[in-house]
């Protein structure tokens, strides 16, 4: 199997006047296609990112040359596939600076990672009347699992409010803690507002109260360096497909001390040490939480995606996306009757907006006819929409391969659609 990553397009000197986005686009064939006879302008990266050819080639290569079920196989292909799978775990460990691969659990995505943690942590540590603290800007996947636990166990959900800029109110956050608080679960970056929450500060306060913290990193992992030891996060979750990897693969990072203490989420092969009808003993970490055949091809794809991102560097990516978002905000504010939601001082590459009385669905549909892909609706954050007093927004979310010319196309598209109403 070819494990090399072609970095020539990443590391080559920039032609005069060419930015990071232009330089990377050749690695993403889908970006050169047309939609309705117009060049595709893909601004829905908060939903999923496009995949570089290096990731797709690695997946195809492994299916054609190394495909075999991992772990316990004595034959060559199984051992080679196992080595690739476990090497991918080490790549993830390095990417987020975890202490050990024992702390890296592979899942099907952020949603399953959160459900795993809620189920297992809740079973072991939460009783009727115990409390979890969430924020008003959480994705449904960090609300509904806790509500299911509340229905089952009688726990209480407390919510951190925000100001009109979309910044969490930290004084109110501190006041939510009580002797019954068992865990805090909060988004690193809002998928609607782009707010980068001060999770390091929030974790430090929670730890002073003896409370662990789960950080939903789905919207931060592709955009900024993440060091789970520096954050001191007890749990951190993310999805491969948000960071240029395949769908169906996710990660649950957990401090080894916590993962040792919580029970398995599912039962089956891989997660056992010994099974009899009288008693089953469970496997060591991280396999205790990985029942059944893992997506060993998908984990290779994730590792290739992280290698690709590292080849560019998260600092240059963050700088490019910050410049692009700043430019987009400036251009969008030039449009009459533009309303932008989220004006936090520390923000990521996400902009949610409405224009006059145009319904977000209508605006998104008409932009699509111009080849511009944006997301419309409540973005799986209905409690946040209720706080904002709206039903939904149009959301443009940027990635490392987006360009100023695409921002200009978005602005021109909105201006054209606005004239129709």
List, in sequence order, every residue forming a beta bridge with 106; answer none if it has no partner.
Answer: 251
How far is the C-alpha of 39 from the C-alpha of 304, rounded, in Å? 28
Tokens at 90, concatenated = 């080490």
* Token digits of residue 346: 């520390």
CB 244 within 8 A of CB 308: yes
Residue 76 tokens, joined:
């060559």
Quick one: which of 116, 156, 98, 150 has its CA closest to 132?
156
Per-position b or e across 179-218, b if 16+ CB within 10 A of its CB: eebbbbbbbbbbbbbbbbbbbeebbebbeeeebbbbbbbb
3-class SS shares of the chain: helix, strand, coil, % to 5: 45, 20, 40
Residues 19, 316 contacting (CB under 8 angstroms): no
Cα separation, 403 vs 325, whole angstroms: 10
d(CA 103, CA 99): 7
d(CA 221, CA 239): 9
For tokens 């932008």, what's the residue? Answer: 340
Residue 261 backbone dihedrals phi, psi, to 5 degrees: -90, -15
Q: Among 295, 190, 244, 211, which residue's Cα sits nearest to residue 52?
A: 244
Residue 380 a catalytic site member = yes
Candidates 380, 383, 387, 411; catalytic one: 380
CA 398 – CA 407 distance, rounded (Å): 9
| Cα gap 137→387, rounded to integer Å | 9
Catalytic residue list: 380
């Amino acid at each position: 199997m070819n494990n090399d990553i072609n970095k020539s397009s990443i590391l080559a000197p920039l032609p005069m006047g060419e930015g990071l986005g232009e330089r990377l686009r050749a690695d993403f064939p889908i970006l050169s296609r047309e939609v309705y006879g117009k060049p595709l302008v893909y601004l829905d990266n908060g939903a999923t990112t496009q995949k570089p050819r290096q990731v797709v080639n690695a997946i195809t290569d492994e299916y054609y040359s190394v495909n075999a079920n991992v772990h316990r196989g004595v034959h060559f292909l199984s051992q080679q596939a196992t080595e690739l799978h476990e090497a991918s775990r080490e790549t993830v460990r390095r990417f987020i600076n975890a202490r050990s691969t024992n702390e890296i659990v592979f899942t099907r995505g952020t949603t399953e990672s959160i459900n795993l943690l809620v189920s297992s942590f809740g079973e072991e540590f939460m009783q009727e009347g115990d409390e979890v603290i969430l924020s008003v800007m959480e994705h449904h996947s960090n609300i509904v699992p806790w509500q299911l636990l509340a229905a089952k166990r009688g726990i209480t959900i407390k919510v951190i409010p925000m100001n009109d800029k979309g910044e969490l109110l930290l004084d109110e956050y501190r006041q939510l803690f009580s002797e019954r608080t068992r865990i805090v679960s909060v988004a690193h970056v809002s998928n609607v507002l782009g707010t980068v929450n001060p999770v390091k500060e929030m974790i430090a306060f929670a730890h002073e109260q003896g409370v662990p913290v789960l950080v939903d990193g789905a919207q931060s992992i592709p955009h900024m360096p993440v060091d789970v030891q520096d954050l001191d996060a007890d749990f951190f979750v993310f999805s491969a497909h948000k960071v240029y990897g395949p769908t169906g693969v996710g990660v649950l990072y957990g401090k080894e001390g916590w993962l040792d203490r919580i029970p398995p989420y599912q039962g089956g092969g891989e997660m056992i040490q010994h099974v009899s009808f009288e008693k089953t003993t469970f496997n060591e970490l991280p396999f205790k939480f990985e029942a059944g055949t893992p997506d060993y091809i998908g984990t290779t794809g994730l590792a290739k995606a992280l290698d690709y991102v590292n080849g560019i560097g998260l600092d240059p990516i963050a700088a490019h996306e910050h410049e692009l978002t700043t430019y987009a905000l400036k251009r969008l504010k030039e449009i009459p009757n533009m309303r932008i939601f989220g004006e936090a001082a520390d923000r990521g590459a996400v902009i949610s907006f409405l224009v006059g009385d145009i319904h977000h669905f209508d605006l998104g549909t008409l932009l699509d006819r111009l080849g511009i892909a944006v997301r419309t609706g409540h973005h799986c954050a209905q409690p946040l929409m209720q706080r904002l007093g709206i039903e939904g927004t149009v959301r443009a979310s940027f990635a490392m391969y987006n360009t100023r010319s695409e921002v200009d196309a978005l602005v021109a598209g909105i201006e054209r659609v606005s004239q129709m109403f």
